[in-house]
Structure 1
Amino acid sequence: MKPNVFESWTKGYVLKDHITNKNIEVGDHSYYSGYYHREHFEDYCVRYLSPDLDGVDKLIIGKFCSIGSGASFIMSGNQGHRYDWVSTYPFFFTPDLNENAANGYMEKGDTVVGNDVWIGSEAMIMPGVTIGDGAVIATRAVVTKNVSPYTIVGGNPAKEIRKRFSEEEIELLLQSKWWDLDIEIIKKHIPLLCSGNVKDFVAGIKKEE
C-alpha cells in the first residue's frame, strides 16, 4: 500500500502549496483534508483534467474553502459520450474505430467554487458547476447544477436543504467580500467570524474601510 501523504486525520494542507496542474487555480487559505484517501488533491480528487493541455475547462477554487477527504471534481465535459446519439460509445477517440466518426465532445465550461465553501468528504462535483460563496456541500452529495451562495445542499442529485442565514444577512456577507480583506484585518475579526452574529461582523469590518 502506498504511504499516506497526510500525517493524521487531523492534518490537511493548504492547497496552493501542492498544486502543479496549470488548469487548477486555488485562492489563499483553502485547504484539503485527505487523510482517508491517502493521496494528493490533484492526483485523486480532480478527474480527467490534463495539466498538459491548453484551453481545457479549468477548476477554480476561491479563498478559505474547506474540502473533505475524497471529494471529487469531474472535469472536461462529457468525454465524447453523447446520450442524444444512437450510441453513447466514443468512436472518435477509439483507435481502429474512429474513421468517419464525429467528435462528440462538448465543453461544459469551468468548474468554479466560490469563497468560504465547505465541501464534505466524498462529495462529487460535476463539470461546469458553479458553487456560490459560503455554500455547504454535504458528504457524498452529487452536485449536478449550480449552488446558490450560503446554501446547504445534499443528496443525489444534490438539492437545497436550507439557507445558512436570512436573505438580508446573506446579502450583507456577499457585499462585504470579507475573504478579500487584508489578513491582518481578518485576524482582528476572527471572534465574530466564529459566531453567528453576521450584522456585528459586517459592521466591524466596515469600520476598517
Structure 2
Amino acid sequence: MKAYLDSSFMMNPTGEYFKWLKCKSTYQLKNWGKHLRLGYLSVVSNTNFGRYNAIGSQCVVSNCTLGDFSYINSYSYVLNTTIGRYCSIGPNVKIAPGKHPASVFVSTHPVTFNNQGNLVKNYCSESKFKNYQPVTIGNDVWVGANSIIIDGITIGNGAIIAANSLVIKNVGAYEIVGGNPAKFIKKRFDEHQIQYLEEMQWWNKGEDWIQNNISKFWNIEDFVEPNLVTV
C-alpha cells in the first residue's frame, strides 16, 4: 500500500518565514531595478513582473504575468492569469481558483477525473478534465475586494468588478459589473469616450507622458480632446 507523507508535520512559523524570505529575495533580486515589492509571507512561483509591481501580504501568485504598475492586495489567490498595466486587484480576491465539472461527469470530486498531486488518493492515472484555464485581464482594471473570477474569463480594458462579485462571464471594456453572479451595471463612459481610450491606449505611454498630462486624468472630458501634451 502506498505511504502518504503528511508534510504539515514539517511546517512551522520559522520555516515559513525563511521560505518567504528566500522567495522575496529571489524575485526582488531577479527584478532588480523594476522596484518590485513582495509582501510578508506571500508565495510566488513562475511569475513575470513588469515595473513598480506590488504583492500584498499572504498572497499566492502562480503562473502569472503582471504589467507595469499593477498590484495585488493582501490575502489574494491568483493563478494562471495575465494582468495588464495599471490594474488594481483588491484584498482577498480569487482568480482562476480551478473548476469542477458540472455536467456529463458523474462526480464533481477530482479523485474521479484527475490525477492531482495535492490529493491523498486518486482513482485516475491521468487527467480527464481540464480544471485550470487561463484568465486574461486588460489594462486599468479594478477588481474589488472578495471577488472571484473563475477560470477562462477575459476582462476588457478599464473594467470594474464590484466587491464581493462572482464573475462567470467575460466582461467588456469599461464595463462595471457586480453581484453573484456578476451582472452588467453600466459603462464607465460613453461610447465615443471608450473608443477614444481604446484607440489611444494611454497605459502604453511613457511615464514622462503620463506625468506631463496627469491633470487631464482627473476628468474624462478634459482627457478626450486633441490638445494633450505630446512630449
Q: TM-score w.r.t. structure 1 length? A: 0.72
Judging changes above 3 Å, is the alpha-carbon distance between structure 1 residues 141 and 130 closer, same or farther for their aligned structure 2 residues? same
Deviation at 1:139, TM superposition (A): 0.3
Q: Is 1:203 aligned to residue 226 of structure 2?
A: yes
Deviation at 1:194, TM superposition (A): 1.5
Q: Which structure would you say has the larger Rg?
A: 2
Number of equivalent positions: 175
Q: Is 1:84 aligned to residue 107 of structure 2?
A: no
Instruction: Please identify runs of 4+ aligned residues in structure 1 that moved more than 6 A.
Output: none
**Structure 2: gaps (5+ residues):** 1-12, 14-33, 47-62
**Separation in 1 of the partners of 2:68 and 2:120?**
43
| Identity across the alignment (%) | 32
Deviation at 1:82, TM superposition (A): 5.2
Kindly indicate whether the alpha-carbon contact (under 8 Å) linking 1:15 and 1:31 is maintained by their aligned counterparts in 2: no
Judging changes above 3 Å, is the alpha-carbon distance between structure 1 residues 124 and 111 closer, same or farther for their aligned structure 2 residues? same
Deviation at 1:97, TM superposition (A): 5.2
Judging changes above 3 Å, is the alpha-carbon distance between structure 1 residues 178 and 15 closer, same or farther for their aligned structure 2 residues? same
Secondary structure at the aligned position of 1:197 is classed as helix
Q: Which fold has the larger relative contact order, with Cα–Cα distance below 8 Å and residues 6 or more apart in sequence?
A: 1
- Deviation per CA, 1:109-143: give whole Å up to 9, x if none: 42011100011111111101111000000000100
Corresponding residue number in structure 2 for 1:25? 65
From 83, 86, 90, the equivalent of 1:68 is 90
**Separation in 2 of the partners of 1:191 and 1:155?**
33
Deviation at 1:21, TM superposition (A): 2.1
**Structure 1: gaps (5+ residues):** 3-13, 50-57
Kindly indicate whether the alpha-carbon contact (under 8 Å) linking 2:98 and 2:150 is maintained by their aligned counterparts in 1: no
Residues 173-182 or 83-92, more deviating: 83-92
Aligned pairs (5 A) from 1:2-13: none
RMSD: 2.8
**Separation in 2 of the partners of 1:203 and 1:154?**
34
From 167, 175, 180, the equivalent of 2:191 is 167
**Separation in 1 of the partners of 2:35 and 2:152?**
21
